Amino acid sequence: MRIAITGKQGQVVSSLADVGPNLGVEVVPVGRPELDLLAPETVQPALANSRPDVIVNAGAYTAVDQAEKEPDQAMANNATGAGAVANAARALNVPVIHLSTDYVFDGRKSTPYVEDDPVAPANVYGASKLAGERAVAAATDDHVIVRTAWVYSPYGKNFVRTMLTLAQNRDEIRVVADQDGCPTYAHDVAVAIVAIARNLLDRADDEQLRGIFHLACAGETNWAEFASAIFESLSVLGKPIPTVKPITTAEYPTPARRPANSRLDCSKLARLHGIRLPPWRASLRECLSRLMT
């Protein structure tokens, strides 16, 4: 199986390139300059050249706060660009797996979100990703939209790597404690993507396998507890660790409003695709072992 994935350096792109060979999958990253989501006319030719069996759209504008200042650019990447990828998948007669986000919800629900809960993005980034979901669904029926949350990995900019950097020169770190979610390891996302892709190819006529699914590691926490778990692993290695001071969202204002509840109910993915991600603490330990060896 050959998977073409948009982008060349993102967390999921890098993780899929890591796991692909061990899973018997050829992974072909396709990004700038050959494929530019801001230039939709480049999308189909670039993807056609990769001769994919499945296309994964992981390319996106992900600067959540900056999106408040650059709404047009966020929308062009995350909505128009996503639609171009899905249109290319339809033209090439292959399935598309599109990565989306918990930010399509406003975070006001008191329990984990299921796929058919009402969407109500609270920021520009979330609105652009929701528009992308709709563009993908409108372009082709042969799609899976995967909403995930709180993604981290050994690559790029993410919460885990930020905390490890801060731990080197701070005695105390203030971390928001009133936002709940499911930390999700990009390696686990990549393995799940391969499993979803196989299901789509093996059961091409099964409509239940298409549509929107939630994908996150098992369990839940808040940002402050997540930071503490990261530092606990450092402590085991005998390294000095900072104290985590829990604070409220109001004490750490950001241009884009974050959902208070980013928890995702992933039972639909387990029921229909047979995919369950590991507990978040176990995946965190795996990621940290890679970062610290």
Please classify residue 132 by burial: count the beta carbons closer than 10 Å to its beta carbon, then call 0-12 exposed, 13-18 middle and 19+ buried: buried
**Single-letter code of the amino acid located at 220:** E
Task: Provide the b/e sequence for 91-118 (b: ≥16 CB within 10 Å).
Answer: ebebbbbbbbbbbbbbbebeebbebeee
Which residue matches tokens 């996302």? 189
Pairing of strands 143-148, 96-101: parallel
DSSP calls for 259-290: PSB--B--HHHHHHH---PPBHHHHHHHHHHH
What is the Cα–Cα distance from 61 to 69, expressed in whole angstroms?
A: 13
What is the Cα–Cα distance from 143 to 99, expressed in whole angstroms?
A: 11
What is the Cα–Cα distance from 285 to 94, expressed in whole angstroms?
A: 36
- The reply to whether 155 belongs to the active site is no
Half-sphere exposure of residue 250: CA atoms within 13 angstroms, side-chain side = 0
The candidate with the shortest Cα–Cα distance to 16, out of 27, 1, 31, is 27
What is the Cα–Cα distance from 149 to 220, expressed in whole angstroms?
A: 11
Peptide bond into 33 cis (omega under 30): yes
Active-site entry in 113, 125, 152, 155? 125
**Single-letter code of the amino acid located at 258:** R
What is the Cα–Cα distance from 63 to 132, expressed in whole angstroms?
A: 16
Q: What is the set of active-site residues?
A: 125
